[in-house]
Every structure is written in C-alpha cells, then in structure tokens.
Structure 1
Amino acid sequence: MQTEKVVDHIVNWLKDYATNAGVNGFVVGISGGIDSAVTSTLCAKTGLNILCVEMPIHQAQSHVTRAQEHIAQLKTKYENVSDTHTNLTPVFEAFKTEVFSDGDQATIDMALANTRARLRMTTLYYYAGLYNLLVAGTGNKVEDFGVGFYTKYGDGGVDLSPIADLLKSQVYNIGEFIQVPESIMKAQPSDGLFGDARSDEDQIGASYPELEWAMTMDDKGKSLNDFEGREAEVFKIYKRFNNSNKHKMVPIPICEIPNELMINS
C-alpha cells in the first residue's frame, strides 16, 4: 500500500464530500482505539471543523486514558479540532430501569452492549445536527464487510465511512504514518461495549490478521474443506460471523409490490 498517497486520497475525498454536502466538518466518537484515532486524524487533516466526542459508559480506565491522550495530541497539532465529554453512564442506567430483562444473562448482556453503541450514535447525531457536521464512521473493511463486528444503527449508523475499504493491518500502517499515540498502536483492539477490558479477539475467537487471511481465502472461493487445524478453525469462525451478520452488510430489504397489485381491479 502506498500509505502517503492513500492518506491524501482519503483526506481529499472527505473534504470534497463535506464541501458538496454543504456541512462544516465532521464529528467522530473517540474510543481510545486505532480506528477512531486514524479516522479523526484523517478528518482533522481536511482543515474543516472536527468535533471529537468521548462517550464513556462504565468505560475501562485504559480506554478513557488513551482517548484523552489522542484528543490532546490532535488538538495540539490541528487548530480545527475541538472536543467534548458526554458521560452516558447515567443515561444508560436510566434506560435499564425502564426496560424488562427477559432471557439468559448472555443475551441480556449482548442486548445492553448494543444499546450502549446506539446511545453513542444518538449522541453523535445530536452534535452533528447542532453544528452542521457529518458523522464519520470508524469501521474498517474486516469489521464492516467481513465479520460484521459492529452494532447495526450503533457504530454502524454513520454518514460516511472513510476507512471502510482498509483492512485492519492497513489501518495500523496509516496510524504509524500519521503518528497515532504509541499507547493506541500497542493496545489490543476492543469495542469497549461491556465495561471491561475484553478484546475483540476474546469475543470473536480469532485475531484480525487471522480474519484478514480468512476473508482473502473466502474471496478466492475457498471452502472449509481446503483447510485443517487452526486454519480450518479460523475459516469456520469467519464464515459463521459473515453469515450471521450478513443482514448488516446488505441494503434494508424492501417488499416490492407487483405492478398488477397496484392497479384497482
């Protein structure tokens, strides 16, 4: 990958899109992870207004510290960057008192994890409306089009996706090039939706390099029978997530009414 040219391409694409849309810039949710760090930096490079939003919900302290370090660095380098801190923990706790919990604990925990992401999406769109900004998504290619590892209408609810055509390894390459803080570069990827330090690999069962390999094999038309051992295990994990999350990767299905039914009999 020609990293510098890719960075320039994304920055120009972002600037052109925002200019044509008649908006002032972008709002980005900052999690303390590599994807939001790279996305917010690319947005900052446009010279347009950038609002970085921290939205902790019982967040692990390590995530908070990394997010704050990144925002501080970004504001030092770019005058067009501002930030705000919106503590959503009380909102989340209030929500939990108004809904009933029915089912096993794992199902409840997952539903609440997705609720966290959707509360954050609502917050980002609030600020987007307030300041005439676009919500910039932070999903990468493996998450968005491989395993679907994001929340529908949560972190998947965005106006545009500047890094969604980049594999996770390529996001790290850009992160190194644009000098994302070392603490973020070395941190284990985590969605931070459970209030602890569990990583994406803990949840998925495979690392991003493994998932990138599986995605490549799948694109080449390979099947589970082509592999054995750990490769077979990883490919099976990839296909399971890809199949179960397919509904996130395709347009919302529309029930099309046949023309003959639209004519009065």
Structure 2
Amino acid sequence: MAGEYKKINSEKIINHIVNWLKTYAETARVKGFVVGVSGGIDSALVSTLCAKTGLPALCVEMPIHQASNQVSRGQEHIAFLKNNYSNVTNVVADLTATFDLMRQHLPSTDNEALLHLTLANTRARLRMTTLYYFAGINGFLVAGTGNKVEDFGVGFFTKYGDGGVDVSPIADLMKSEVRTLAAYLGITQNIINAKPTDGLFGDDRSDEDQLGASYDELEAAMEADAAGKTEADFSGRELEVFKIYKRLNTTNQHKMNPVPVCEISDDVRF
C-alpha cells in the first residue's frame, strides 16, 4: 500500500465536507456538481463526496491519449458510484482528436522539455474548458480535486487547468488523509494503491517522477516548514526533500496567490 492511513475522525470530516458542499450549492442556487474522473484517488474521493450530497453529480471522463490502466480505473470507480448512488451520472468526452487538431495549428519549439510541459498544461486546460461546458449546460458547479500538498504546498497543478474550479472540497486535506477517507468510503484498493499521476504526458511518469519526492515525503516537509524548521534541522534524504519542497513552494507562489493587480493611486490617475 502506498503510504499509511492517518488517524482522523473520518466520519466527522466526511459529514462536514458533504454538508459544506450541499450548503454552498444551495446558497449559490445551482443544481449539482461536475467532477473530472481520472482514475486517481483524489478525483475518486471528490466524486464520492459530491455523490453523498444527494444532489446530481456528473462524472466526466476526458481521455487524451490516456493510458489504458488510468481509463479502466476511472470506469471502475464510476461503476462503484452508480451502484451506490442513484444521483450519479457519467459522460465520456474524448478530447484526443481535439488536442491533436489544436497541436497541428500551433507552432512548435526546439526546446523539447518546454514543449512537453506546455502541451501537458494544454491538456489540463482543455479539460477545464470541457468541465465548465458541462457545468454550464446543467447548472452545476465544477468541483476541484486538488489536495493540500498539491494546492498549497508545492503548487502541483496547472493554472487555469485543474486549478480552475468553483469549489475545492479536499484542498485542506493532506494526501495521507485523502487515503484514509477513501478507504473509509469503500473506494477500491486498486485506486487507493495506484501510483499518483497527472496523466498529462501520454506516458507512465508518476507525480513522484516529476516532483522528485513522494507525497508522504512532501507532506512531512510541508508540516516541518509550517512548524518553523529550516534546512539546518535535516540531513540526508530528509534534507533533500525539504529543499525540493522549499524550491517548489517558492517558484509556484504565482499559482497559490491571487493574480497581482496593478493598483493605480489617485496621484497617478489624475
């Protein structure tokens, strides 16, 4: 099993999130939620929490040259939801042809690394646009699937891609807490144990391959940083991970903070 289960009050947390989602939707006068289901644990947990509100929950699969194991896990989870919640529906929006056509009409670059990263972010933004289409025609909210380490620790998401959402129900949960809640809700071990991946590169690279550290390691570094610890407090692998965390946390602040606004004072304006 990837990581350990954290000792938390799962039932209380789940009830809190479900009530928060339902209250937010009712206050906003929207009908339900749309969630992009990838076959990963975060989207599995969020879609289940949305289903538990009793409001309509639409699960959207959006493959773009997707690995077959990711597709099958997503389908497995949707089957689990539909077997347990009558308010869950699903749709497949295969964006492969759309992505390929868009790429044909855009210039390339000799910088292969930069090209692949940009195309990965383009996939995420196509998916965001697709989710908002389904949200728009149904009167739904787009539910985000980012956890606390991704959203507020290392900024491991695409700005205006998977970071473009209406509500973030699990953004205050560490990855270990996500695993615990997923297990409590009966989400399959096949999904819980799967190596985390964003599935944006068309290969089998994992989040750990991209980040240089596992979520458990980064979670520990995030908690240590919040406690005021510095590089002087670590050695060996822990020091290496702490440096990775601090570097990513610093370089990705532009994702975590509001868009800078150039304020114009009266003495400049007039």
The Cα of 1:261 is off from its aligned counterpart by 2.3
Q: Which runs of 5+ in 2 are unaligned?
A: 1-7
Q: After superposition, what is the alpha-carbon deviation per residue over 1:99-144, rounded to whole angstroms, capped at 9, x for unaligned?
A: 1012410100000000000000000000000000000000000000
Q: Determine which of 66, 72, 77 is the counterpart of 1:70.
A: 77
* 1:137 to 2:125 alignment: no
Distance 1:102 1:74 in 2: 43
Please state if 1:2 is matched with 2:9.
yes
- Matched residue type, 2:223: T
Q: Deviations over 1:66-106 (max 9, x none)?
A: 00000011011001000000100000000111110124101
> Does 2:243 match 1:236?
yes
Q: 1:122 aligns with which of 121, 129, 140?
A: 129
Q: What does residue 32 of structure 1 align with? A: 39
Measured against aligned partners, the alpha-carbon deviations of 1:235-260 in whole angstroms (never above 9, x if no partner) come to 01111111111100000100010122
Q: Could you list the structure 1 runs, at least 4 aligned residues long, displaced by more than 6 angstroms after superposition.
A: none
Q: Determine the C-alpha separation between the residues in 2 that align with 1:238 and 1:151.
A: 17
The corresponding residue for 2:259 is 252
The residue aligned with 2:26 is 19
Q: Where does residue 113 of structure 1 map in the other structure?
A: 120
- What is the match of residue 48 of structure 1? 55
| 2:222 corresponding residue in structure 1 | 215
Distance 2:266 2:227 in 1: 39
Q: Give the counterpart of 1:201 among 208, 211, 233.
A: 208
Of 126-135 and 197-206, more deviation after overlay is shown by 197-206
Q: Which residue of 2 aligns with 1:99?
A: 106
In the aligned structure 1, how far is the partner of 2:216 from the partner of 2:109?
37
Matched residues in 1 for 2:266 and 2:52: separation? 50
2:170 partner SS:
coil
Partner of 1:147: 154
Overall identity of the aligned pairs, in %: 62
Determine helix, strand or coil for the equivalent of 1:161: coil
Cα distance in structure 2, aligned partners of 1:65 and 1:195? 15
Report the alpha carbon displacement of residue 222 of structure 1 after superposing the two structures with TM: 1.4
| TM-score normalised by structure 1 residue count | 0.98
Count of residues in correspondence between the two structures:
263
Which amino acid counterpart does residue 16 of structure 2 have in structure 1?
Answer: H
Partner residue in 1 for 2:3? none
Of residues 41, 64, 74 in structure 2, which corresponds to 1:57?
64
Residue 5 of structure 2 corresponds to which residue in structure 1?
none
**What amino acid is the match of 2:165?**
V
The one-letter code sitting in structure 2 at the alignment partner of 1:55 is M
Matched, 1:183 2:166: no
Which amino acid is the alignment partner of residue 67 of structure 2? A
Instruction: Give the alignment's Cα RMSD to 1 decimal.
Output: 0.7
